[in-house]
Amino acid sequence: MSADHKPDASPAAFNVPPVHKSLHVNCPPQEAFLRFTRDIHLWWPLSTHSVAGPKAVLVAIEPREGGRIFERDANGAEHTWGEVLRWDPPAALVFTWRPGRGPETEQEVSLSFAPAAGGTQVELLHSGWERLGSEAAEARDQYEGGWATVFGTLYAAHANADPHPNPAGG
């Protein structure tokens, strides 16, 4: 979707339920948090889930409140997906979400990382669909399946990988 795509500007006149995903990973909260944030480039499926599609080469989260979540394409152009609202390792991460859309359509994604037997319980909540106006319900339904794959399968596999890949090479 192009960055200049704008849905009906009026917020949906109804509540759209958030997308909620929950999973258990076999590592402590600090590691689960880092595997989501620091390692996002290792597990996020850029070729299918990005603004630039197959030309996308990197996705990153700047590790601070106010930091960007963005992708970079093969030509060096950067596409903002959102902004970090809360950076609280290892307990929580909250960010706005708008890949390929303008800031007026931002939703909110919050993650919590809680100690649990044998690892960490990770909860994802994606809300604020009403900001997409007439596209709210359809977008929410698409993300229901998208988060099941990206978070529930790909992130889970990376978080449960043993030994954990060392991106620094050392």
Q: How confident is the model at residue 123 (pLDDT cuts 50, 70, 90)?
A: very high
Range scoring the smallest mean pLDDT among 14-23, 39-48, 159-168: 159-168
**What's the whole-model pTM score?**
0.88
Q: Name the residue among 25, 40, 30 with its Cα closest to residue 95.
A: 40
Q: How many CA atoms are closer than 13 Å to the CA of 60, on its beta-carbon side?
A: 10
pLDDT at 11: 55
E strand segments, the chain: 19-25, 56-61, 68-73, 78-88, 92-97, 107-116, 119-127
pLDDT of residue 8: 53
Reported as a single tens digit per residue, the pLDDT across 59-115 is 999 999 999 999 999 999 999 999 999 999 999 999 999 999 999 999 999 999 999
- pLDDT computed for residue 21 by the predictor: 98
63 contact partners, CB below 8 Å, separation of at least 6: 37, 38, 84, 87
How far apart are alpha carbons 40 and 61 in whole angstroms? Answer: 8
The single-letter code of the amino acid at 53 is G
Q: Please, how many CA atoms are within 13 Å of residue 112, restricted to the half-sphere of its CB?
A: 9
Which residue's structure tokens are 């007439």?
134
Cα 41 vs. chain centroid, distance in angstroms?
11
Mark 86-124 as b/e (b = at least 16 C-beta within 10 Å): ebeebebbbbbbbbbbeeebbbbbbbbbeeeeebbbbeb
Q: Six-digit token pair at 115?
A: 């100690």
Reported as a pLDDT band with limits 50, 70 and 90, residue 1 is: very low
- Residue 13 pLDDT more than 60? yes
